[in-house]
Amino acid sequence: MGSCMGKESPVDKKSDTNDEQNVDKSAASLKEIDVNSGPVQQHSDRYVPEPPPSSPPPEPTPTSVKPLYIALYDYDARTEDDLSFAKGEILEVDPDDLYNDWWRAKSRNTGKSGFIPSNYVAAYETLEAEDWYFGEIKRPEADKLLKTPINEHGAFLIRESDKGGYALSVKDGDMVKHYKIRKRESGSFFIAHNNPFSTLSDLVQHYTQNADGLCDILKKPCVKVEKPQTVGLSHDTADIWEISRDSIRLTTRLGSGNFGEVWQGLWNDTTPIAVKTLKPGTMNPKAFLEEAELMKRLIHDKLVQLYAVCSKEEPIYIVTELMPKGSLLDYLRSEEGRKKKMEELIDMSSQIAAGMAYLEKHNYVHRDLAARNILVGNNNTVKVADFGLSRAIDEDIYEAHEGAKFPIKWTAPEACLKNQFSIKSDVWSFGILLTELVTYGRVPYAGMNNRQVEKPQTVGLSHDTADIWEISRDSIRLTTRLGSGNFGEVWQGLWNDTTPIAVKTLKPGTMNPKAFLEEAELMKRLIHDKLVQLYAVCSKEEPIYIVTELMPKGSLLDYLRSEEGRKKKMEELIDMSSQIAAGMAYLEKHNYVHRDLAARNILVGNNNTVKVADFGLSRAIDEDIYEAHEGAKFPIKWTAPEACLKNQFSIKSDVWSFGILLTELVTYGRVPYAGMNNRQVVEEVDRGYRMPKPNLCPDKLYDIMMACWKKEYVERPTFETLQWQLEDFYQTDSKQYKELAK
């Protein structure tokens, strides 16, 4: 109910008390980790709670009828019916209001009553009431909050991690360190195995006095820079969108555009707001109010909140929360915006994606996503604005101003050409917005007009080949032989003397053309940035040509054995593994089985990029040929037991193969099961043998391998899980800490 953005409240209980045990026991059980132990340190600069704003309220009694809440922020009344209160005040709440956004409450500190915003308070003496508890925020958000200048070394917070557990985040100089908090079946919490605590409060209290392996003692809780947005301007506007124009005072003109102006103003002479005034004739009031019925239900901290409208006369007013630094487009072009570092720009992009993910979850399409429709606040905060407004704009007006119904350079091809808008067309626009971010507001498609831009983007080598897979052999010129194998050769070449391609030429008799073309019907629909794209085939005569995108550094197996590959550090190898898992997760999502996942079927590009290749080809290979070359229908050392013995292939047998591929990565291309032949491998694996941990392989990575090699295929992880585990491994593993929180 209440937000978790408070500052400070007492945590002076001893570790053997159980005051909060019932609250803390409701958390999900946590994964096991270790934290480096260190010397016990004593500091005088430890966390000491602030005194309450006035004399302490009387202790609640068991006979209290109304539930008690504690204020997490200061709040100044906006109307005569509101209650002003200070952070730390104890409030009695009317239980009949608990399902609303505004509650009737009485302060035990001042004795005054009135309405309060529900997200400014938390239930008394609960975890949410602690100033150091930040609820369900992700690691990057914790980093951002702790790195703000107001927070000094030793500032900390506890957050709910992605998997339902808890994590402690601590500012350590210019960095932020993260520690997982485990929970035992008995209900106790700990970071180090030998140091359990009854509650999270006890844990915090201990580490404010003793570092015990942390980077330092915990000092002050992370400061919350911004208060949450209330739902509506007040309790009586939360569900009423039409407000009196007389209640609005425009103060400062912030900007103007084709459809009107944007002003800073005050509502009821108390509350800062932004007001968009629309030129007469721009918007159909009925259409907008219908859209507002949907928009008012969309509340997220990365969406600009619509508070109210004045639509009974023109100009129409659209009243929203105030974002003091204006549009992202103008901000990026300003002196302050041009100083933003890449990590800050990427942080902005993640916030925008979070807002759009919320719209996506609610099946809501923006239709005009661009930097001009993103607003900027303090502390690098951005929010998505104007979602839904394009639907209420008169299309003739919009066309007159923009030269088309929608701004072409931001609009997806299917939306431009067929008026087919969806969340996926918003995704296209988000990609354009990313270019605006990293170029500090440069117009996309520089030097091109709308007509040039509107030409549709194609899949395949050209518009002629997008849906036609059989191309003329005469259009292909082979230039450089890249390698050879049992089934043929791989060449670099040119299509139409313009486009670099890779060509796999198959030995006569290797592949059944009909079988391959049937498989291609499925393969051509699989498009992902971690899959090698199949462009075309030449199958009418032998040798069959398979034409794909060119990956200049060849197969991962050859690359790992090369001089350049042998110089790859472990973190780069793990990054490669996460990319492969991402490609396989896409196949998994589409119920597609690779059946021959190995380093030889992964291709390498520039900048440590890898992509999954040859998915599906094993199904089109003549099985007798494959058996003759490999000694079995499939390469035994990479193949799961149920596939070897029972010919049962599934995405879970691909997971087994992925575990073998991981050994190839960390051994720089060594053949798995060294010294064993295929028959021995089948027999020993069936008896329970698993390869030992390779030299220099991190323990955590070997744990992932062993999970892939579970005998019961249903117990093996999904590729989606493997992807986030490896991405998390790459981003958070550290020489100083055995395991950090996600």
Contact 203, 209 (CB under 8 A): no
Closest to 558 in 3D by CA, of 481, 657, 669, 659: 669
Query: Amino acid identity of 612?
Result: V
Q: Phi/psi of residue 167, each to 5°?
A: -140, 145
Terminal Cα-to-Cα distance of the chain (whole angstroms)? 25
Residue 308 bridge partners (DSSP): 319
Is the separation of the CB atoms in 577 and 568 below 8 Å?
A: no
Planar angle of CA 38, 42, 47, nearest 5 degrees: 110
Cβ burial 8-46 (10 Å sphere, 16+ → b, else e): bbebebebeeeebeebbeebeebeebebeeeeeeeeeeb
- In three-state secondary structure terms, 116 is strand
What is the sign of the dihedral through the CA atoms of 692, 698, 702 and 703?
Answer: positive
504 is in an annotated binding site: yes
Sign of the torsion angle spanned by Cα atoms 229, 231, 236, 239: positive
SS3 track for 538-574: ECCCCCCEEEECCCCCCEHHHHHHCCCHHHCCHHHHH
Q: Which of 212, 368, 596, 614 is catalytic?
A: 368
Where does 303-356 show beta strands of DSSP type E? 306-310, 317-320
DSSP string, 169-220: EEEETTEEEEEEEEE-TTS-EESSTT--BSSHHHHHHHHTT--TTSSS---S
Q: What burial class does residue 699 get, using C-beta atoms within 10 Å of its C-beta: 0-12 exposed, 13-18 middle, 19+ buried? A: exposed
Q: At what angle do helices 342-361 and 423-438 cross, to 10 degrees?
A: 170
What b/e sequence results for 610-622 when a residue is b if at least 16 CB atoms lie within 10 Å of its CB, and e otherwise?
Answer: bbbbbbbbbbbbe
Residue spans of beta strands (DSSP E) within 465-507: 476-485, 488-495, 499-506
Nearest CA to 388 out of 411, 421, 414 is that of: 421
CB 40 within 8 A of CB 213: no
CB atoms within 10 A of CB 200: 23
368 is annotated as an active-site residue: yes
The number of beta carbons lying within 10 Å of the beta carbon of residue 711 is 14
Put the strands of the sheet holding 166-172 in their side by side order. 156-160, 166-172, 175-183, 189-190
Q: Report whether 280 contacts 314 (CB < 8 A).
A: yes
CB 413 within 8 A of CB 427: no
Pairwise CA distance, residues 248 & 310, whole Å = 10
Interacting residues of 608 by C-beta distance below 8 A, sequence separation 6+: 568, 572, 575, 576
376 has which bridge partners? Answer: 382
- As a whole number of angstroms, the distance between CA 337 and CA 326 comes to 11
- What is the Cα–Cα distance from 393 to 441, expressed in whole angstroms? 25
Annotated binding site: 504
Instruction: Supply the residues annotated as catalytic.
Output: 368
Annotated binding site for ATP: 504
